[in-house]
Structure formats: structure tokens, C-alpha cells
Amino acid sequence: MIKVYKFGGASVRDDVSFRQVERIIRDASSSPLVIVLSAMGKTTNALELVASAAHNEADYSETLQGLRTYHLNILNALFPRQNEVFAQFEQAIVSLHATLNTSRELPYAAFYDRVVSYGEKISTLILHQYLAHRGLPNTLLDAAQLVVTDGPFRKAVVDWEVTKRNILNCIEPAQLALWVVAGFIGSDKQGHTVTLGREGSDFSAAIFASALDASELTIWKDVPGVLNVDPNELKAGVKFDKMPYNEAVELSFYGAKVIHPNTIKPLENRNIPLFVRPFSDPAARGTLISSDPELHPLACSIIRKKDQILLTLIPKDMSFISEGHVHSIMGALCDLGLHINLMQSSALHFSLCLDNGTGIVDGLGERLGPTFHIRYNEHLTLLTLRRFSEEDIQLHTRGQEVVMEQRSRIMYQAVLKD
């Protein structure tokens, strides 16, 4: 049966990584295989800077030249100079320049999607040519022609029926073959390039796995598997050998970075197992996420989401918080595209913890200011402890001011001052 492999930016950040990707793919060549790829290294971050500068008519030439040099250095290490990939890469750079010059009058979200998608377009081009160069014939697919969405830009919503039909028209799951496709990218019904949200290549892999009814999806990461804590926060983390789908959904929803939040549900609906495996040690099993209800080992998961804002809404007429108030608050949040990380209500106050961002207070003030006084605190961290003990709470809140907290039988959350 067909398998889907997804490789993130760290897996193609240099020529050594590309060679490791080739070895992993070669070892799996006895099965039909779809490879979903992210942009290389920190390319997306750089393209975001380029897009922002270009849209504001600022200079971006140094950043763009740095990106070109970075990719060319990897090409020179992987290919003989006469390989056609060099000309194809330069064509992509010319196309990117044209997009930057001709599309900047678009609304920023549409412009952003057109510019930032070049990271995945270039990485898949290079992998496609490198695998062919190494004797692994493969087909490069255009994700924008396959993954069709209803928009909006930067967080497109997949049209599953059309997308599945498109994918099955291009990929025969029973055919022993190899396909390469960009993650993160789709198109709207008018054919404009859209993206599926930051880190959306995991979601892309789940889309292909679901459409193809794959036997498994493997996401190759620079960690041993799913850990109970971000290794950048605490090195001595516990690796989960296996976890149920619902546990993975909860962890990703509350900010665990190892899996994109939208990835799990399409797999659960088709009962497709997800492996999160270490790129540096392909023989290791990593973490299995499946319909098995057991979580092993049982350990407290620790998630910290930084750069939070806490908003408190108080009715100006001093009435109690009512269902009507909540309805208007939720409508404003929905219209502004804002996601609640934590909320709490009392008789006279309704408090919301959100990812901070430009214009949040002004946007909500315009919508809700006539009805509510709005108070807010910034520079906060949302701590989530899943399967916690009282000792865990004491350990992870020690020396920090708790602004707001909430708990259930297995979940503790606190908004902390940084």
C-alpha cells in the first residue's frame, strides 16, 4: 500500500540532509511513496521578511540575494554544474522577482501567499532533480493544482471532495512509483496560490494520506519523536512511544510544536497511523499516533505559548455577563480571525487569552467598544500541563505571577507574567 513521508525544513537544510533524505527514500522504495516537502531550512522566515519589505516598498535585495546564495551553495554540493536544475532554479528566482514587482498592490495576505510559496516550489524542484540524479525516477506534482480550497489567504480551508478527486487523478496508489509534492501550498477556486497556515506542510501530508487512504504517514523530525516538553525549553524530556489520536489533537491544539494542529483529524477519520520519527536515526521507531487508546508512558506534558495577550471585557452598563454578550464577543473574534487559547467568565468580567498580534486591541475595540470596557495585559505566557500533579504545578509556576488559571481533571492552564 502507498505511504506518505513528510520532510520538514530541517531535513533539507543542507547537502548532507538531502543525502539523508535520499537514503530514507531509497530504503522505502519497495512501496509506492508520496514525498511532501517543506521549504529548506529557514527559507520561509526569510521570504516573510522579503514579502513584508516588498509590500511596504522597502529594500529586500540583501535578504533575497542571501536566499539565492544559500540555495546555490546546496545545488553546487549536490549536482554537477551542467545539470538542468541550475537553469530551473534561476527561472524560479526570476519568477519570484516578477511576483514581487507585479503583485505588491494586492492585499497583503494574497501577496504573502504568492511570495512565501516559492520556498516549497524551490525545495521540491531540487529534491525532484536530486532523486532523479541519484537514480530514483520520480514525478514532481504541482500542489496548487491538486489542493483546492475555499480560501481565505494564509489559512485556506480545503475542499476535500475536489482535492481528493484531483489527487487520485494524478496518483495511482497501487502503482510502484515515487511522487514529490510541496507542502503548505494550495489554490483557491479562482486558481490563485494560497497557503494552509504556518507550518502547514504537516497538514498537506495528512491531506494526501487521507485522499490516498495511505497505509501510514511518517513525519520526519529533528527530535526522537513526540516529547512531553519542547526540547528547546527543557532538554530532559520524555518521549512517548505511542499515543492516541485525541491526545495528539489536544497537545497540538494547545501549542505543542511537533505536529500542526490540523494534521490529526483527517488521519483519525481514515484510521491512518502517524509515525513521528527521528530524521537522524531512521531505524528508530519514534512515536506512533493511532486509534490505540493507550498513552505510553504516562507523563505530564508541558506546553508554553509565549507572546500572549489577556483581554478582559466588562459590560459598560454594569449588567451581568449574559449569553447575548458571549454571542457578540464570539462573533467579533470569528470575524477578525482570532483564536481563543483560554477563556474565563465571571458575573461582570469575560477574560480571553489570545496569541498577540498587530491590531487585536484596536480591532476588538472597534467592534466591542460601544458595549464593553476593554482592559488588557501583554507579554504573557500560557502554560498548559496535561496529566498534571500538584508538584508539576508548583515546579512550572515557581517564581512567576499567575494572572489567571483554570483546571480540569487532567488539564491545568495558567496565564503567567513573563
Instruction: Kindly report, residue by residue over 327-345, the tens digit of the pLDDT.
Output: 999 999 998 889 999 999 9
Provide the pLDDT confidence category of residue 33 given band limits of 50, 70 and 90: very high
Taking residues 96-101, report their average pLDDT: 96
Q: At what angle are helices 61-78 and 43-55 packed, to 10 degrees? A: 150
pLDDT of residue 236: 74
Condensed to tens digits (0 to 9), the pLDDT of residues 3-28 reads: 999 999 999 999 999 999 999 999 99
Measuring CA to CA, which residue among 224, 302, 210 is closest to residue 262?
Answer: 210
Which of residues 31 and 232 earns the better pLDDT score? 31
pLDDT of residue 231: 83
Provide the pLDDT confidence category of residue 268 given band limits of 50, 70 and 90: very high
Instruction: Tell me the three-class secondary structure of the chain, residue by residue.
Output: CCEEEEECHHHHCCHHHHHHHHHHHHHCCCCCEEEEECCCCCHHHHHHHHHHHHHCCCCCHHHHHHHHHHHHHHHHHHCCCCCCHHHHHHHHHHHHHHHHHHCCCCCHHHHHHHHHCHHHHHHHHHHHHHHHHCCCCCEECCHHHHCEECCCCCCCCECHHHHHHHHHHHCCCCCCCEEEEECCEEECCCCCEEECCCCCHHHHHHHHHHHHCCCEEEEEECCCCCECECCCCCCCCCECCEEEHHHHHHHHHCCCCCCCCCCHHHHHHHCCCEEEEECCCCCCCCEEEECCCCCECCCCEEEEEEEEEEEEEEECCCCCCCHHHHHHHHHHHHHCCCCEEEEEECCCCEEEEEECCCCHHHHHHHHHCCCEEEEEEEEEEEEEEECCCHHHHHHHHCCCCEEEEEECCCEEEEEEEC
* Mode of pairing for the β-strands spanning 33-37 and 178-182: parallel
Check whether 258 has a pLDDT greater than 80.
no
pLDDT of residue 131: 98
Condensed to tens digits (0 to 9), the pLDDT of residues 293-327 reads: 999 999 999 999 999 999 999 999 989 999 999 99
Domains of the chain: 3-221 (3.40.1160.10), 301-417 (3.30.2130.10)
For residue 333, list its beta bridge partners: none
pLDDT of residue 121: 98
Provide the pLDDT confidence category of residue 183 given band limits of 50, 70 and 90: very high
pLDDT of residue 232: 79
**Average pLDDT value over all residues in the chain:** 94
pLDDT of residue 182: 98
pTM of the model: 0.92
pLDDT of residue 364: 93
